Amino acid sequence: MKARVLVDASDIDRFAPHTHPLWWGILGAVAIEAAVVATLLTSYFYLAAQNPAWPPEGVAPPDLFWPTVVLVLLPLSSFTMWWAGKGSDRGDQRQLSIGVTASVTLAVLALVARSFQIAEFDASWNDHAYGSILWVITGFHYTHVVSAVSGTAVVAVLAWRGYFTPERQLGVVVDTVYWYFVAGVFLPIYLVLYIAPRLL
């Protein structure tokens, strides 16, 4: 019979952000998601190298306007998340609540901009390899923004209800880490999907 491994977790503060297993869990999740994004972007260039024309003949590269709007909104939402976290550190419930709510609002606006952008794609997901990888990468990131907005909306509700304190802010810290990832990973996606086709 296999011996059981026991771990004494009695001295772990369940609200301490940087020693909690959830902190390490979100870092692991971000590392995995970053690897998936890197794989998708590598696949984009692999497919481009296999095709004489990229995008294919008769297909226009995605317009730059809406993605550039998103490129402004997501970093701005990261700033408001950072500002909210500073309020949380000081126990300023109002600053935390306003900052988190502002981040959710900015990200929802980014989703609206992405929706307009997707509607303008000159290729469907099943037309060719270019259309497929364009839609997969875009859909992957879109889903992540929806996920971040959903989780952060819960944090916002709890913040307005006064749940978080300087001692009890694990949810804020973990949510902020994921938010930074979702906002930051759009930069390489922007460069690959919207700038690279104009240079290749």
> Domains of the chain, with CATH numbers?
69-199 (1.20.120.80)
pLDDT tens, residue by residue, 26-40: 999 999 999 999 999
Looking at residue 182, its pLDDT comes to 96
Per-chain mean pLDDT for the chain: 90
* Rounded mean pLDDT, 64-93: 95
pLDDT tens, residue by residue, 96-131: 999 999 999 999 999 999 999 999 998 888 888 999
* Rounded mean pLDDT, 167-184: 91
- The 3-class secondary structure across the chain, one letter per residue, is CCCCCCCCCCCCCCCCCCCCHHHHHHHHHHHHHHHHHHHHHHHHHHHHHHCCCCCCCCCCCCCCHHHHHHHHHHHHHHHHHHHHHHHHHHCCHHHHHHHHHHHHHHHHHHHHHHHHHHHCCCCCCCCCHHHHHHHHHHHHHHHHHHHHHHHHHHHHHHHHCCCCCCCCCHHHHHHHHHHHHHHHCHHHHHHHHHHHHHHC
The reported pTM is 0.86
